Structure 1
């Protein structure tokens, strides 16, 4: 072996040791990939990608998070129970999260732009099919499965691309990119209510399907980052030898799944705890907003004012996303982002708990406003916190795994909340449940953040010790 080959081998060995010190082992495929992204632009066309992602959030977030209005229309049209109707919306969001690893894997293989534009077509097609649903169970196929499949192809790849375009301004870019969701929640509930009132169930879904096609316009802006070739023959040999030694012990199916979806990252203590906490948090993600209209009406709030609560949440949600994007990039907050993120999660859960005990319209407005603000912070900065934990090179796999874990929460959260309503005849127990689960997730997330800080400090001390010796 000549000197250059020895240098490459030593560099590869040092990189492997560094990754083990940080508690995350690199994906063998990612390490030997001969195409590496060029330097992060931190601007340029990235701002057009941010605009496209914000427009996508406006459409997708506004449509899916306005299910509280659709929920009422489905119950009135088909006479379905609260649990069944809640599950229609819960499975929709849940599948969109469950299929996150599939969407990220497809975007790596085929590119973000074609995957997102395909998702826009799929979502529009199944929304159109749902216009002629004969009963509530058909909506499990058209709305719960079909629009979720399209939504997952639209959602995860776009956020990952935004994070790849930015480094120093990552929180700001992510905040701006996701701010469209809050605006969508402000616009879509009264719009959907207007469509149902004036065009009926079928006409409303036909118009909504045409609106979904605009996701293709957003996807057209997702220009991929330029890449440069980097050949590492010796490094590939070294890692392939490692893989051949341990790969024979693993079934071929597991190796294929781990290669494409990175399931081994869940075994890491910090990231695994983070994913578990996000599962608890998202038990409240759908139900907290989906049931608020009926909760307010249960307390005597008029229908028009109850629907307006979703718009209040949308406004403050947007404010939370934008403000957190700028604040979390400040030098003082940047190293403490995880801790402030935990505080936002806990406050969001506490305000959901408070909504369950609201008795007048002013209380509903205040709790909804502050809950929307902190919920915006939590949803917006999720990808940024993941990058802080695992690093940019593992974002695609880890973000997909995170949203898949959240899928459990968004599926079972509405079902449990709906069952509590059917059992007790009130939405108050439902909000006690979703608020408590969110606060519990916040405490677990705090443990994950403190553990990550401890691991990072130990790694820095070990590095200093090596330098001194």
Structure 2
């Protein structure tokens, strides 16, 4: 099949996209600290500027989210038979960026100031244009676009898809879970460097600890992706367990963070259990809604996560302004991580058993399914496509 030949190129280009184009978000805490030094205003006021940088609604955040969503969706289309490992490889690029960019950003701020750092980081992000051109549009996506010849038809299709998505209890629970961990994770990324400095670490040590978070996240993205690709492993359980353990660790941070080894331990745990989940979003989404609705569903998930990323630093700034330390911020963050795990459990209990989870190890059937998706009528239901693929393989 023609699209099979593009798979290796898509993985490499996707990895570079996530490394260069979406990893700036994870320097938000370092930039927040730089903004405090420049404006010398209250943390609550500067939190607005950090929220603008890190959310998917404004300028760089919008471009970063488009880069990430487009890249991951391309992987989902080309590897819909078993997306866990290729998705893990692609998001591994973001893990490398998380390891590199905090220290690099701190160096740029110290050398060129916050304004110069923004200019140089934006120049790095601009390089994703080259790698985006290396990712061809999947035939199924081309067929989807042919269905809506006018903006009005496209709008109607989107509304119908949203109604179908949110009438599914499992998907609604999944979105709430994503909102919870997005809000809590952004609090960690923005306030953790300041917390480390307030407990005796230097700014460079805080940046190195955030780089440790990125380094461990690199391995987590690959390992979780490989584990979820096993037909006997349920990625939804990995997702729920990750945020349960991360919630426990975050609640313990006011005790662990008083010593440097404790900070190293928490940064490691944060990287392992928050980063690996990015390899599971596409597989879980496909299990809930199928391949046809994956683009709309995944876009909505990023939107929900963006709302969490936008609101959390503002709420965290208000909480910080009422206290002298960061303990309450991270206690609330730990509770919200637990809520993410609880809603994932509710999703598991409400969703139907996925056919893709039972059959994804059967390569012959998956190739047949992909052929039907490209050559058959796009309007067919996913179940009919699967059934016809099974009949052709008998």
Mark yes or no: TM-score above 0.5: yes
Q: CA deviation at 1:228?
A: 11
Q: CA deviation at 1:160?
A: 0.5
> Alignment partner for residue 326 of structure 1, among 200, 212, 226?
226
Give a deviation string over 1:226-261, Cα, whole Å, max 9, x none: 46999xxxxx9xxxxxxxxxxxxxxx98x8645236
Q: Which residue matches 2:242?
A: 344
* Equivalence map 1:270-289=2 (5 Å): 270-289=170-189
After superposition, the CA RMSD in angstroms is: 2.5
> Alignment partner for residue 272 of structure 2, among 373, 379, 390?
373
* Partner Cα distance (2:289, 2:93) in 1: 27
The answer as to 2:269 corresponding to 1:364 is no
The answer as to 2:306 corresponding to 1:306 is no
Conserved? CA contact 2:18–2:67, under 8 Å: no
* CA distance 1:229–1:399, change in 2 (3 Å): closer
Question: Aligned pair count?
Answer: 347
Q: Give TM-score, length-normalised by structure 1.
A: 0.69
* Equivalence map 1:375-390=2 (5 Å): 375-390=274-289
Q: Which residue matches 1:58?
A: 19
> Alignment partner for residue 101 of structure 2, among 185, 188, 196?
188
> Alignment partner for residue 49 of structure 1, among 10, 18, 21?
10
* Equivalence map 1:90-169=2 (5 Å): 90-96=51-57, 145-169=58-82
- Most deviating of 213-222 and 312-321: 213-222
* Partner Cα distance (1:338, 1:258) in 2: 32
Conserved? CA contact 2:32–2:46, under 8 Å: yes
Q: CA deviation at 1:169?
A: 3.6
* Partner Cα distance (2:317, 2:352) in 1: 39
* CA distance 1:228–1:307, change in 2 (3 Å): closer
* Partner Cα distance (2:141, 2:193) in 1: 52
* Partner Cα distance (2:114, 2:313) in 1: 23
* CA distance 1:207–1:340, change in 2 (3 Å): closer
Unaligned runs of 5+ in 1: 1-38, 97-144, 231-235, 237-251, 457-469
* Partner Cα distance (1:337, 1:271) in 2: 15
* CA distance 1:91–1:209, change in 2 (3 Å): closer
Q: CA deviation at 1:93?
A: 3.3
Q: CA deviation at 1:408?
A: 2.2
Q: CA deviation at 1:219?
A: 0.5
* Partner Cα distance (2:212, 2:35) in 1: 23
* CA distance 1:203–1:387, change in 2 (3 Å): same
Q: Which residue matches 2:196?
A: 296
Q: CA deviation at 1:446?
A: 0.8
Q: Which residue matches 2:338?
A: 439
Give a deviation string over 1:184-238, Cα, whole Å, max 9, x none: 01111111111111122332222222212101112111112246999xxxxx9xx
Unaligned runs of 5+ in 2: 356-394
* CA distance 1:349–1:302, change in 2 (3 Å): same
